[in-house]
Amino acid sequence: KKRKKKIKKTKTKQKVKKKKREDKLIDDTRRTKTKRENNKETTNTRKENIKTKEDRTTIKKIKRITKTKKNRKK
């Protein structure tokens, strides 16, 4: 008789739960504010995200370079 393989529980479930919890907290803070304040906040975050996107590409480039350097050292 073959032994059944144990299925490992992934951490994704935990991550999803955590995210839900965080989202709930964010929603609670939003309810106390006015509509105008919330809208301002979202536009600001969007602007920041656009900035970070450009930064991300540079970060990726830097990472790639460092990776190749590390491999050379080996």
Total domains present in the chain: 1
Domain that holds residue 51: 12-73
For residue 73, is pLDDT > 70? no
pLDDT of residue 37: 80
- How far apart CA 49 and CA 55 sit, in angstroms, is 10
pLDDT band at 12 (very low <50, low <70, confident <90, very high): confident
**What is the residue whose two structure tokens read 């900035």?**
51
Q: Is residue 42 part of a domain?
A: yes
Q: Is residue 36 part of a domain?
A: yes
Q: Is residue 6 part of a domain?
A: no
Question: 56 is written with which tokens?
Answer: 């991300």
pTM (predicted TM-score): 0.28
For residue 1, is pLDDT > 70? no
pLDDT digits (tens, 9 = 90+) for 51-66: 777 777 777 777 777 7
